[in-house]
Structure 1
Amino acid sequence: AGWIGIYALFLIVKPISRRAVTALHSPVRVTLAGWLTPGLLGGLQMLALFGILAAALGFTFSHPLASLGVMVFASLTYAAIILALNVWLGSVGQFLGLVLMVLQLVTAGGTFPWQTLPEPLTWLHHILPMGYVVDGMRQLMYGGDIARVGADLGILSLWLLGALTFAAIGVARMTHGRTLRDLQPSLIG
């Protein structure tokens, strides 16, 4: 739910302000602005999802606040990844975000054990971020090993920082191709 929520937000919201890039704002600042809004909206989506799971569906959590924290952190991580794809590849990046979602749904182990995957797909479970979210949530929901949750959050942190860095480099690259039209775009298009 976190990935599709962020993916849908990036279909609606422009990831990076061309006007800010043209005005020579710091690439890091432009990247953070492009990431924080969808990330915070994704965090609100996770809060609503948590409420539905706990109140409406009656799910119990051994560690409810930590579970919510992992959900919000996962949403922030997904926002960074999809932002980086959009910055570097535009609409192709949007499509790759959809492909990544499908691959992760299959390999994360949320719907069926990842150990039953065909051999060419098992390595994706250990690379893509959603598998770590699923593992962390299982540990927190059912009272499992908290140390594993820390390791899962460590991998998610690497994804988050790597994606934000990659996006910032892409934004810095955008400053080389700016024009006056980017600063004051035409009303017609």
Structure 2
Amino acid sequence: MPYHHGDLRRALLDTALEAVGEQGPAAVSLRDVARRAGVSHAAPTHHFGDKTGLMTALAAEGWELLADALAETAAEGDDFGALGVAYVVFATSHPAHFAVMRAPGLARADDPALEAAMARAREQLEAGVRRFEGGSSDDAAVTALTAWSLVHGLAALILEGAVPLKPDADVAELARAVTDRLRPPT
């Protein structure tokens, strides 16, 4: 995807996402991203400093997209399980972002934009729990972590091929069946 005028930073991010999708985040190099984008090998350095800066930008973008998806789902109603479905659908429809978001050590954990994006996504999950079950903030945080662990695990299992899906499988339907297990018995 050779770069042709416009937003070079965006073009580099898109190119890096493509490379992550093909090789995984650890194998991506700034030189390869530049080559794929059709720009000088110094161009990514100008925008991101180094590979860690590039991965940090991708991770922050991913967390922002996830937070947006969760906020949109929350705005549609009080169904806590729908937040879990949104998480799994996000992860499986943005696998390159998701890979970078969960790759330890590849991003600067103390980056303000990344910290803010992660906090925003976490708050969406915790707010969903508070709406669903009430209780203290500590209870909501633990319940949100429990639910997050479940849907994160499901998303990872799907992406790793450990949960074989038929070509016509509906990921949202599968995620709904799993998140329905979070409901207290009636």
TM-score bracket for this pair, using the shorter chain length: 0.3 to 0.5
User: In proportion to residue count, which structure has more helix?
Assistant: 1
Larger RCO: 1 or 2 (CA < 8 Å, sep 6+): 1
TM-score of the superposition, structure 2-length normalised?
A: 0.34
TM-score of the superposition, structure 1-length normalised?
A: 0.33
